[in-house]
């Protein structure tokens, strides 16, 4: 394998997400990189018709991602919904020359479609929900790939706020409430993320979220 495709080294500043973009990369080279780099790595790859983006997440990025994962899991538990968490598994389609590894992905409404199966986006639906953390970087290219893969909902966390994006008429538009969890708004998610910044215990955030869900369910 050519050295120019080696993943970037982590930067001394762990608060800044690092990104490298390479052009004129073939699908075969992209697939070989995925195989060579393996599953146990922090870097994330995104491939869009010859353009390869390699991202090394920051510490802050990972903290927010993990908390959002727990928020999603807690919602499915309290609302008695099925869930299949796929983490950062590679989502790709050779026929579209598109591939991406989300920060986190979830099958919720379509969880039963992938039970015991290898993930195949040609024959199976895409994840119902994808989480992207954009605190120190932008996910424009990744959103473009999700659009081609027909991912119906993306939660995008920026330095300013949470954005809930729905795929409608082939484009992502910002919406107040989630498709996967119709009772949950972007403002609500943001509130629990803010709580996470003010505590040293993620379980405290989860307990608060459980209490909030139960209050919503008991309201007339």
The per-residue pLDDT string of the chain (220 residues; one tens digit each, 9 = 90 and over) reads 333 333 333 334 455 678 899 999 999 999 999 999 987 788 999 999 999 999 888 888 899 999 999 999 999 999 999 999 999 999 999 999 999 999 999 999 999 888 766 788 998 999 999 999 988 667 788 999 999 999 999 999 998 899 999 999 999 999 999 999 999 999 999 999 999 988 899 999 999 999 999 999 887 6
pLDDT of amino acid 106 = 97
DSSP for the chain, please give it. Answer: --GGGSPPPPPS-TTS-EEEEE-S--HHHHHHHHHHH-SS-S-EEEEETTEEEEEE--HHHHHHHHHHHHHHHHHHHHTT---EEEET--EEEGGGTEEE--SEEEESTTGGGGTTS---TTTSPPPSEEEEEESSS--HHHHHHHHHHT--EEEEEESS-EEEEEEETTEEEEESB-SSSTT-BHHHHHHHHHHHHT-S-HHHHHHHHHHHHHHHHH--
Q: Is 43 left (phi over 0), alpha (psi -120 to 50) or beta?
A: beta
pLDDT of amino acid 38 = 84
pLDDT of amino acid 159 = 84
pLDDT of amino acid 137 = 65
pLDDT of amino acid 153 = 98
pLDDT of amino acid 34 = 94
Q: Is 97 left (phi over 0), alpha (psi -120 to 50) or beta?
A: left
pLDDT of amino acid 4 = 37
Three-class SS string for 12-76? CCCCCCEEEEECCCCHHHHHHHHHHHCCCCCCEEEEECCEEEEEECCHHHHHHHHHHHHHHHHHH
The first and second tokens of residue 207, run together, are 């307990």
pLDDT of amino acid 65 = 94
- What's CA 166's distance to the chain center, in Å? 14
* φ, ψ dihedrals at 34, nearest 5°: -55, -45
pLDDT of amino acid 9 = 39
Q: Which fold has domain 58-218?
A: tt1808, chain A (3.90.1570)
Angstrom distance (rounded) from CA 152 to CA 167: 5
């Amino acid at each position: 394998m050519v050295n120019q495709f080696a993943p970037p080294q982590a930067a001394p500043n762990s608060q800044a997400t690092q990104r490298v973009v390479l052009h004129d990369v073939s699908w075969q080279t992209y697939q070989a990189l995925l195989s060579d780099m393996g599953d146990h790595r922090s870097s994330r790859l995104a491939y869009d018709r010859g353009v390869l983006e390699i991202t090394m997440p920051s510490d802050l990025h990972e903290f927010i991602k993990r908390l959002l994962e727990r928020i999603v899991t807690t919602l499915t538990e309290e609302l008695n919904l099925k869930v299949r968490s796929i983490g950062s598994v590679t989502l790709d389609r050779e026929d579209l020359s598109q591939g991406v590894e989300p920060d986190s992905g979830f099958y919720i409404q379509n969880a039963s479609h992938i039970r015991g199966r290898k993930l195949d986006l040609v024959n199976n639906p895409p994840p119902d929900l994808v989480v992207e953390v954009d605190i120190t970087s932008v996910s424009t290219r990744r959103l473009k790939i999700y659009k081609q893969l027909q991912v119906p909902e993306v939660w995008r966390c920026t330095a300013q706020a949470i954005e809930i994006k729905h795929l409608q008429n082939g484009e992502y538009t910002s919406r107040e409430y989630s498709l996967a969890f119709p009772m949950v708004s972007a403002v609500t998610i943001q509130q629990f993320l803010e709580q996470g910044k003010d505590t040293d215990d993620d379980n405290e955030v989860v307990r608060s979220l459980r209490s909030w869900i139960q209050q919503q369910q008991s309201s007339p």
